[in-house]
């Protein structure tokens, strides 16, 4: 098969982008040709894949998206392929990978009536409807039961088109026999003493992932337990300025360390003492499960699509909605207890052995093959 993969922007540290790469590589491993359409690409290209940069720009994202789709459609008309796989919502997809949360649900519940009269709303609502609406034939690969329920509520999407995938944790995130040595090495490289508590925050998109909440919880530890040695290490590609200002305002700027995007997240998960992920909105949250399989206790909000795994594994604390800063403060203070963290580690690692947290990309690739094969059969009828 010859397949097109569509993504507006690729960078190596985003969760959806990492899934994009692994899906392309899995499809290639099955012997298929992959052509990638994109507007912006950061990092290494995918070997053996055909990369086509779409040369469009606009003053607004929704105008840019429309020009992207028009350019891709013209290119596919001139040089056709067997199927189209999208990682952003747009018309004309054969398969859509649903990494993003339901736009219409957020627009209806978190935005005012005036917002819903604008061109931005019409664009994103129309593009989402083109995937999930009753008139669509797009096959949908889902990663969150919570978001699936929202899509079904707003669009009455056919159950037959919605395919729930297992998580897709990379095996290099799992704690192995050398975990203790790797933990010591990464902590030494960061200048972390053995007695220091390392809070780890991982995520590109600091506002959406709740970094301000994590910084406030850190400040609460300093106030409640001034003799506790603790640091917050922030990993991710985003603007830091407003969060540095907040840390300075709260008197913890010396305890917050911004590392930028990193390729050694697996080591950092082993070196940390607690993962803190108090997200405002998170369709899945792959880092929650990466922490779980590394034996790292997790603090997260219940809006995260994968939060139910943390609760089921008893691998940390899931904060209930509506979010209260005091709940997070209490959770972080509790995570300072070494006995509690040891319990979370043991139950989390047991859960990781008994639960399929790894086969997303092979399962999804098989579904892509089946969907395109079915499309070709219909075309031959």
Tell me: do 34 and 102 sit in the same domain: yes
Q: H or E segment at 37?
A: strand 33-38
Tell me: do 195 and 310 sit in the same domain: yes
Tell me: do 131 and 207 sit in the same domain: no
d(CA 260, CA 253): 16
Tell me: do 236 and 307 sit in the same domain: yes
Total domains in the fold of the chain: 2
Tell me: do 136 and 222 sit in the same domain: no
Q: Tell me, what's the pLDDT at 381? A: 63
d(CA 122, CA 63): 11
Tell me: do 92 and 226 sit in the same domain: no
Residue 308 burial (C-beta neighbours within 10 Å; 0-12, 13-18, 19+): middle
Tell me: do 182 and 300 sit in the same domain: yes
Tell me: do 162 and 175 sit in the same domain: no
CATH number at residue 370: 3.40.50.2000
Tell me: do 364 and 277 sit in the same domain: no
pLDDT tens per residue, range 110-135: 999 999 999 999 999 999 999 999 99
Tell me: do 146 and 182 sit in the same domain: no
Share of the chain above pLDDT 90, in %: 97
Single pTM value for the model: 0.93
Tell me: do 197 and 91 sit in the same domain: no
Mean pLDDT of 352-380: 95
pLDDT tens per residue, range 214-273: 999 999 999 999 999 999 999 999 999 999 999 999 999 999 999 999 999 999 999 999
Domain hosting 142: range is 2-166+359-380
Tell me: do 152 and 216 sit in the same domain: no
The number of angstroms, rounded, from the C-alpha of 207 to the middle of its chain's C-alpha atoms is 14
d(CA 238, CA 69): 27
């Amino acid at each position: 098969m010859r397949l097109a993969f569509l993504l507006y922007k690729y960078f190596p540290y985003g969760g959806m982008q990492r899934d994009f790469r692994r899906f392309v590589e899995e499809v290639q491993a099955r012997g298929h040709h992959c052509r990638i359409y994109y507007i912006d690409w950061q990092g290494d290209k995918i070997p053996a894949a055909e990369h086509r940069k779409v040369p469009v720009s606009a003053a607004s994202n929704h105008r840019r998206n429309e020009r992207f789709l028009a350019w891709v459609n013209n290119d596919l008309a001139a040089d056709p392929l067997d199927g189209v796989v999208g990682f952003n919502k747009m018309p004309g997809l054969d398969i859509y990978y649903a990494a993003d949360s339901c736009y219409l649900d957020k627009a209806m519940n978190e935005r005012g009536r005036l917002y819903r009269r604008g061109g931005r709303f019409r664009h994103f609502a129309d593009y989402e409807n083109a995937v999930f609406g009753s008139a669509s034939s797009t096959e949908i690969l889902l990663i969150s039961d919570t978001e699936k329920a929202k899509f079904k509520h707003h669009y009455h999407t056919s159950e037959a088109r919605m395919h729930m995938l297992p998580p897709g944790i990379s095996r290099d995130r799992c704690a192995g026999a050398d975990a203790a040595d790797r933990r010591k090495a990464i902590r030494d490289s960061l200048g972390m003493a053995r007695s220091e508590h390392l809070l780890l925050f991982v995520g590109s998109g600091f506002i959406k992932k709740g970094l301000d909440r994590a910084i406030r919880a850190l400040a609460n530890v300093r106030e409640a337990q001034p003799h506790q040695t603790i640091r917050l290490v922030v990993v991710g590609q985003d603007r830091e300025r407003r969060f540095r200002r907040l840390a300075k305002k709260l008197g913890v700027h010396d305890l917050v360390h911004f590392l930028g995007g990193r390729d050694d997240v697996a080591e950092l998960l082993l070196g940390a003492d607690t993962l803190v992920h108090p997200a405002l909105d998170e369709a899945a949250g792959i880092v929650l499960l990466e922490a779980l399989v590394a034996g790292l206790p997790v603090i997260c909000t219940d809006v995260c699509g994968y939060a139910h795994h943390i609760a089921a594994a008893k691998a940390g604390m899931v904060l209930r909605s509506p979010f209260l800063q005091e709940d997070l403060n209490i959770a972080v203070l509790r995570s300072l207890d070494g006995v509690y963290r040891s319990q979370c580690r043991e139950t989390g690692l047991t859960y990781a052995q008994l639960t399929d947290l790894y086969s997303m990309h092979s399962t999804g690739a098989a579904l892509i093959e089946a969907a395109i094969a079915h499309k070709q059969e219909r075309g031959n009828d």
